[in-house]
Amino acid sequence: MGTCDTHFYLSLMQIFIPCLLCIMPKVEALNVTISGFYVFGDSTVDPGNNNYIKTAFKSNFPPYGLDFSNQVPTGRFTNGKLATDYIVSYTGLKKELLPPYLDPSLTNVEELMTGVSFASAGSGFDPLTPTITNVISIEKQLDYFRECKKRMEDAMGKQRIEDHVKKAAYFISAGTNDFVLNYFSLPVRRKSYTLQAYQNFLIQRITDFIQNLLAEGGRKIVVAGIPPMGCLPLMITMNSPDALFQRDCIDKYSSIARDYNLLLQQELRKMQLHLINSSASNAKIYYVDIYKPIADMIQSRHIFGFEEVHSGCCGTGLIEASILCNKISDVCVDPSKYVFWDSIHPTQKAYHNIFLASISTIEFIINN
């Protein structure tokens, strides 16, 4: 692939169609052209793996899952579906929800083959981050993928699974916890790294992870950026001079996210160019922007049908998340009027909008 082709691919990643987000249309699934969908990362893409480990970072209790038809909390850190649930449904893999790999009831090999999530809420690219939260590190998530491959190979044969893995898509979403729970909150990394050095450290961890995923046979790899961190309700509460009455986004932290996302995109471009003459020359690495869709929902709230954009739906909306958002918490009347479900995580409607903003990218990845 030439340099012009690379720029063409990357320019497509930036396509955004605002009118799609003004409503929540039913989107017809594509004719499936990928073999499976495998996800790594943090709470933005964890459908419930943390249910099965010893950590305080859980959400398998009410009011989480409020908008599922049976109102059963699944371990997703929102009131319903995640963006990756919408994506897997759209791919045509005949899955409405992406299951957590650690679910002990997940014994059907066909379920493994169509896709699972290895993600763990509270995780990050910095190996210190998951130790703070006692969750599954990114490296361990990759180990689980290797284990998943072995389970499939034992059932279906090595050659078939090698082909399957190459035709699957891989989605990586993490990084926010490395800043919010780690660098901004604890002194350990700040003593060793300037902000720019820490960003570069995280980028190197991402490239190492991608290289390892390529070595396992992955060929369609999607990396999500991070959101406008200064707009997370918890960040506003912690950093506003008046957390009750001055609830605007804090650009100091959102600008760090913008800088990081630019660095990430630059590194992914370099990686793609370096792959040309490698054994993985047919691999493609894509960037998906989640910053702009969330910023647009906040800045143009009424266009998207939102009324509250700086506080969460659960409890006061200022600090509640995980165990602080629980069955005795008050819940807003209509979560679809809120961008955030708790003080950190988007609502199902916001996740759906993020999915809609990425449709052109998703289609391009699946069909090429």
Nearest to 294 by CA among 357, 250, 251, 223: 357
Host H or E run for residue 299: helix 291-299
Nearest to 123 by CA among 68, 173, 75: 173
Which of 123, 240, 311, 345 is the catalytic position?
Answer: 345
162 HSE (CA, 13 A, CB side): 4
Which of 42, 46, 289, 342 is the catalytic position?
Answer: 342
**CA-to-CA distance for 317 and 296, rounded, in angstroms?**
20
**CA-to-CA distance for 231 and 344, rounded, in angstroms?**
9
Q: Are 125 and 206 in contact (CB under 8 A)?
A: yes
Backbone φ and ψ for 321, nearest 5 degrees, come out as -165, 155
Written as one string, the DSSP assignment of 51-69 is GGSS-S----STTTTTTST
345 is catalytic: yes
Residue type, 333: V
Q: Are 355 and 86 in contact (CB under 8 A)?
A: yes
At 151, list the tokens: 């389970």
Which of 35, 43, 117, 173 is the catalytic position?
Answer: 43
Residue 320 CA: distances (Å) to CA of 119, 150, 226, 297, 328:
22, 40, 21, 21, 12
The residues, any chain, with a CB within 8 Å of residue 69's CB and separated by 6 or more, are none
Specify the pairing of strand 37-41 against strand 169-173: parallel
Q: Are 52 and 102 in contact (CB under 8 A)?
A: yes
Q: Are 20 and 356 in contact (CB under 8 A)?
A: yes
Q: Active-site positions?
A: 43, 342, 345
